[in-house]
Structure 1
Amino acid sequence: MTSTSTAAQRARPHAGPAWMVLALVCACQFMVILDSSIVNVALPSIRGDLAFTSTGLAWVVNGYLLTFGGFMLLGGRAADLFGPRRMLVAGLLVFSVSSLAGGLATAPEVLVAARVAQGIGAAMMAPATLAVINTSFTEPNARAKAFGAWSASGGVGGLAGAVAGGAITTGLSWRWVFLINVPIGAVLIVMAMMSLAATRTGRRESLDLTGAVTGTAGLAALIYGVMQTADHGWSSGLVIGPVVAGLLLLVVFTVVEARIAAQPMVPLRLFRIRGVAVGSGLLLLFGAIAIAMWYFTSLFLQNVLGYSALQAGLGQTPAAVMFMAIARWAAALLPRTGVRPLLLAGSGCFVAGFGWLAQAHADSGYVTSVLGPTLLVAVGIGLTFPTLMAAATADVPEGDAGTIGGLAQTASQVGSSVGLAVLATAAGARAATKAGGSSPAALAAGYDLVFLMAAGIGVAIAVVSSLLPRHRHG
C-alpha cells in the first residue's frame, strides 16, 4: 500500500489543480525578477532616509544579485534532495521575512543584510519553480505552455519593477517596495502547501558540502569581481583578485565533483546530455543579450533622449508586452517545430533589431529609432528564452530537475553579470573617445557600440544552436 502511494505521488507530484501549480510558479518567478529591478528607482529615497554612502548604496542592488547568482546551484540541488515544495516554501519564507526586515530597516547595514538574505531566498525559489514545471507537466504540449507562461511572468516582473518602483516610491514610500512582498509571500506559501505534494527523489543522498562551498563561493567571487568593474577598470586588483579567486574555486569545484564527491552537487554526467551542455552555453550568451536590451535601451532613453526613469520604463512597455505575447506563442510552437527553427528566427530578430538600434543618435525619435527595433528584439527574446529553458532542461532524470533548473538560471545570471561588465566597459571607452565624453551624442555612440556587439552575440547564438539535438523538446 505504501509503495503504491509513493509511486502515485511520484507520477503526480502536485496535489492541487494544474492551473494552481502554474499560477504558483509564475508568481514566484515574477517576484524573483521583480526584486532584481524594483529597488533601482527607489535608491535616491533610500539614500536620503538611511544616509547611505554612494558605495554602500550600490550594495542594496548588488547584495541581492550576488547571493541570487551565487546560491542558485546549491538551491537547485537542495530541491532535488529535499523536494521542490520544501525548497519553494522555505525560499518564500526567507524572502518574505527578509523583505519585512528591509522594509523596517533603520540603518544601512540592516537593509543590505536584508537584501543579501532576499537573494538567498530567491536562489532557493527559482530552481524549485523549474523543478516543479519539469515534474508536474510531463506532456510535451503542457510543458511547453508552462515554460511559455513562466518565461512571460519574468517579463512582467522586469517591466513591473521599472514602473511600479517609481509609482510605489512616489505614492507611498520606498519601504513599500519591500513590504509589499510580505502579504504576497504569505499567499504563495499557502498556495504551495495546497497545490504541491511533499515529494522527494527517493534517493538517500546527503548534500555535497565541499562542492556546495567551493561552487557557491566560486560563483559569488566571480560575480563580485565582475560587479567591481562598474567602479574600477578590468586591470584593477579589486577586479582581478575576486575574478581569479572565483575561477580557481570553480576549477576546484569541478575536480571535487568529478573525482572526490561520492554524491556530487552537480553530477558531471548531466553534461553528457547535449541539450544541457549546449543549452547552458546558449543561456550564457542570452544573458548578455537580455542586458543589452533592457538595461542599455533604458540608459539610452534616459541619458540620450532625456527620459525620466518612470518614462523609460513606460517606453519599454510595448517591447515587454511583445515579449510576453511571443513567449506564449513560441511555447505553443515548440513541440511541433523543435528548438532550432525558433532559435534561428530569434537570432535573426536580434541581428536585425540591434543593428537598427545601433543607428540611433542624440536627435533620434522614439518611434522610429527605439520603439521599432526594441519590438523586433523583443520578438527574438520571446522566441529564444522559453526555447532555451526547455532545451537546457529536457531529457533530464526527474531526480535532477532542480539541479538542472539551478544550472540553467545560474548560466543566464552569470551571462548577464559578465555581459553587463563587458558591454558597459565598451560603451564607456567608446564614449570617452568622442568630444564631450558625457554628452548625449558621446553616450549615444557608446550605446550604439553595445547594440552592435549584441547583434554579434545574436549571430553566435545562431551558430551554437546548430549543436543542439535535432529532436523536438517539450
Structure 2
Amino acid sequence: MSHPRRAGLLLALLAFAQFISAIDYNIVYVALPEIGRAVGFSATSLQWVVSAYAVAFGGLLLLGGRAVDLFGRRRMFVLALALYGLASLAGGLATDPGALVAARAVQGLGGALLLPATLATINTSFEEGPRRHRALAVWGGAGAVGMALGSLLGGVLTDWFGWQAVFYVNVPLALGAALVALRLMAADPAGVRRRRLDLPGVLTATLGFTALVFGIVQGPELGWSSPAALGAILGGIALVGVFLVIEGRTADPLMPLVLLRNRSLVTAMGVTFIFMGTFGAQYYFLTVYLQDVLGFDALRSGFAFLPSALVGLVGTKASEKLLGRIGVRSTVLLGLLTGAAGMALLAAGMSPGGGYAALTPGLVLISLGQGVTWTAMFVAAGTGVRAEHHGVASAMASTMQQIGGAVGLAVLVAVATSGAHGAAGAELVPGLRSAGWTAAALTVLGAAIALTLPKPASAARREPAISVAS
C-alpha cells in the first residue's frame, strides 16, 4: 500500500476490528452470574454462553480462512462484522438459554471470518519486514488492550446497565466498522476465483474441529470418559485425519498441504496452541481468585485488569522493536519466558489473606510477555506464505490457538480442582496456585517449541514452489 495516510487508516480499521473481537472474548465472564439468573441457565448449562462462541469459532476458522482467499478479503471482513453486530443484538434481546447460545454461536462464526480476513489484509497490504512488524504490533496491541478492557467494560456495563449491555455495546461498533470498511478497503476482484470450494474438506474439517473443541470444552463438566465428551474427541480426531487425506488428494484443497512445509508457520501453530492455553487461561483464574477469594464484585474485578491493558500495549510496542533487532525466534522466546516467570510470580502471590498488590509483579510480567509474544507469533505464521494462501495460513494458526485455549483451560481447571471438589473461598487457593505453576511449566514447553523456528538468515525463505491450484 503506497499512500501512507490511507495505509494508516486501513491499519486503524483492522486494529479496531481486532479490538472488538478481543473485547468480546472477556466481556461476558463477569456478567455470567447475572445472565444465569436472568435468562434461566442451570449451573451446568451456563458455560455454553462462553463455549458456544469457542466451539463455533474454533470449528469454522479453516472454512473462514479459505472463504477469505476465495471470495475476497473485503467481502468476508464486512460480512464478519455484520454477523457480529446482528448476533450481538440478538444476544441482548434473548429471553431464553437456547436463543442466547445460538446468538453466541453466530458471533463465533463472525469471529471465524473476521480473524483470517484481518490477518490476510495485513499480510498482503504490508510487505514482510519492518512495515509488517509495525502493523502487526498495532493490531496485537489493540487485541491486548481489548482482552484486558473486556473484563473492565463487562464489569462496568453489567453493574450500571445490566447484562444485556455487554452484547448491545458490540452492535454500533461492529456495524459502524463494516460501513467504514466498504469505503476504506480496496474492492475485491469481480466474481470469485475460478476454483471449486472443497466441500468434502469443508465438511470433514468443520465437523472434525467442531467436535474436537466440543469434546474438550465439555470434558471437565461431563467427565472425560463420558460418551459425549470422549466420543466427540475421538470422532473429531478421526474426522481431522480424514480431512488431511482428502486434502492430499483433491485438486482444490481447503488447506493446501504445501503450507505444512513452511517451518515458520508450523512452529507458529505449536506456539499459538501453548500460548492460548496458558496466557489465555490467566483471565479465568484471576477472575476466580479476585471474586471468590478476595471478594471483589464485577466492577472491581474489571478495574483490576486495567494495568494489564497498559502493560500489554508496552509489550506489543517492544515486540516491534525486538523483531527488527533480534529476529522472530528470539522475540518469541523472550516473550514466552517472560510470561512463564509472570505466571510463577502470580501463583506465588495468591494467598487466602493476600491482596491485589501481591499479584502486581506477576501481572506485569504476564502482560508484558503476552504483548511481545502475540505480535511475534503471528509474524512467524505469515512469514514465507504466498499472498493467495494468507487467509488459510492465518486460519491454521488461529485454529490451533482456539483449540489450545480449550485444551489449556480444561487441563488447568482439572489441576485446580483436583482433590478440591466443592471447595470455596480460601480453600480454592492451593488449586489456583497449582494451576499457575502448571501454566508456567507449559509456557516453558512453548519456548522449547519456539526454538525450532528458522534462524533469521533462513526465515525469509518463501513457501516451497510446489504446484498448487489457485
Alignment partner, residue 446 of structure 2 = 461
CA distance, structure 2, for counterparts of residue 347 and residue 42 of structure 1:
30
Question: Contact 2:331–2:372 (CA<8 Å) still a contact in 1?
Answer: yes
Tell me if 1:253 matches 2:238. Answer: no
Deviates more, 1:328-337 or 1:117-126: 328-337
CA distance, structure 2, for counterparts of residue 15 and residue 342 of structure 1:
27
Alignment counterpart, residue 403 of structure 1, candidates 378, 392, 407 = 392
Alignment partner, residue 216 of structure 1 = 206
**Length, aligned pairs only:** 457
Tell me if 1:364 matches 2:367. Answer: no
Change in Cα spacing, 1:399 to 1:94, as seen in structure 2 (3 Å) is: same
The C-alpha deviation readout for 1:25-71, integer Å capped at 9, x for no partner, is: 11111111222221222233333333333344332222111101111
Question: Contact 1:343–1:387 (CA<8 Å) still a contact in 2?
Answer: yes
Question: Contact 2:153–2:302 (CA<8 Å) still a contact in 1?
Answer: no
Tell me if 1:167 matches 2:141. Answer: no
Change in Cα spacing, 1:72 to 1:16, as seen in structure 2 (3 Å) is: farther
Give every structure 1 segment of 4 or more consecutive aligned residues whose post-TM-superposition deviation is greater than 6 Å: 13-16
Deviates more, 1:283-292 or 1:240-249: 283-292
The C-alpha deviation readout for 1:355-392, integer Å capped at 9, x for no partner, is: 22232321233213x11111112221122111111101
> What is the identity, as a one-letter code, of the residue corresponding to 1:142?
R
CA distance, structure 2, for counterparts of residue 305 and residue 49 of structure 1:
25
CA distance, structure 1, for counterparts of residue 442 and residue 30 of structure 2:
29
> What is the identity, as a one-letter code, of the residue corresponding to 1:219?
F
Question: Contact 1:430–1:445 (CA<8 Å) still a contact in 2?
Answer: no
Alignment partner, residue 7 of structure 1 = none
Q: TM-score, normalised by structure 1?
A: 0.91
Tell me if 1:20 matches 2:9. Answer: yes
Tell me if 1:304 matches 2:293. Answer: yes
Question: Contact 1:14–1:21 (CA<8 Å) still a contact in 2?
Answer: no
Change in Cα spacing, 1:358 to 1:51, as seen in structure 2 (3 Å) is: closer
- Pairwise CA distance, 1:132: 0.6
Alignment partner, residue 373 of structure 1 = 362
Alignment counterpart, residue 233 of structure 2, candidates 236, 239, 243 = 243
Tell me if 1:447 matches 2:432. Answer: yes
Alignment partner, residue 463 of structure 2 = none
Alignment partner, residue 234 of structure 1 = 224
Q: Secondary structure at the match of 2:352?
A: coil
Tell me how large the CA RMSD over aligned residues is. Answer: 2.1
Question: Contact 1:13–1:197 (CA<8 Å) still a contact in 2?
Answer: no
Change in Cα spacing, 1:58 to 1:347, as seen in structure 2 (3 Å) is: closer
CA distance, structure 1, for counterparts of residue 426 and residue 170 of structure 2:
40
CA distance, structure 1, for counterparts of residue 144 and residue 410 of structure 2:
22
Question: Contact 1:346–1:381 (CA<8 Å) still a contact in 2?
Answer: yes
Q: Secondary structure at the match of 1:53?
A: coil
Change in Cα spacing, 1:275 to 1:110, as seen in structure 2 (3 Å) is: same
Q: Where does structure 1 lack aligned partners over 5 or more consecutive residues?
A: 1-11
> What is the identity, as a one-letter code, of the residue corresponding to 1:466?
L
Tell me if 1:438 matches 2:423. Answer: yes
CA distance, structure 1, for counterparts of residue 210 and residue 24 of structure 2:
19
Question: Contact 1:284–1:411 (CA<8 Å) still a contact in 2?
Answer: yes
Pairs within 5 Å for 1:137-156: 137-138=126-127, 140-156=129-145
CA distance, structure 1, for counterparts of residue 159 and residue 221 of structure 2:
29
CA distance, structure 1, for counterparts of residue 46 and residue 424 of structure 2:
25
Q: TM-score, normalised by structure 2?
A: 0.92
CA distance, structure 2, for counterparts of residue 15 and residue 245 of structure 1:
49
Question: Contact 2:215–2:230 (CA<8 Å) still a contact in 1?
Answer: yes
Change in Cα spacing, 1:246 to 1:184, as seen in structure 2 (3 Å) is: same
Alignment partner, residue 70 of structure 1 = 59
Alignment partner, residue 99 of structure 1 = 88
Deviates more, 1:78-87 or 1:307-316: 307-316
- Pairwise CA distance, 1:14: 9.3
The C-alpha deviation readout for 1:401-453, integer Å capped at 9, x for no partner, is: 11011111111111110000011001100535xxxx61444311111111111
> What is the identity, as a one-letter code, of the residue corresponding to 1:34?
I
Question: Contact 1:292–1:450 (CA<8 Å) still a contact in 2?
Answer: no
Change in Cα spacing, 1:299 to 1:337, as seen in structure 2 (3 Å) is: same
CA distance, structure 1, for counterparts of residue 325 and residue 356 of structure 2:
37
CA distance, structure 2, for counterparts of residue 141 and residue 395 of structure 1:
15
- Pairwise CA distance, 1:16: 7.7
Change in Cα spacing, 1:295 to 1:106, as seen in structure 2 (3 Å) is: closer
Q: Where does structure 2 lack aligned partners over 5 or more consecutive residues?
A: 461-470
Deviates more, 1:373-382 or 1:347-356: 347-356
> What is the identity, as a one-letter code, of the residue corresponding to 2:410?
A
Alignment identity in percent? Answer: 39
Tell me if 1:387 matches 2:376. Answer: yes
Question: Contact 1:225–1:241 (CA<8 Å) still a contact in 2?
Answer: yes
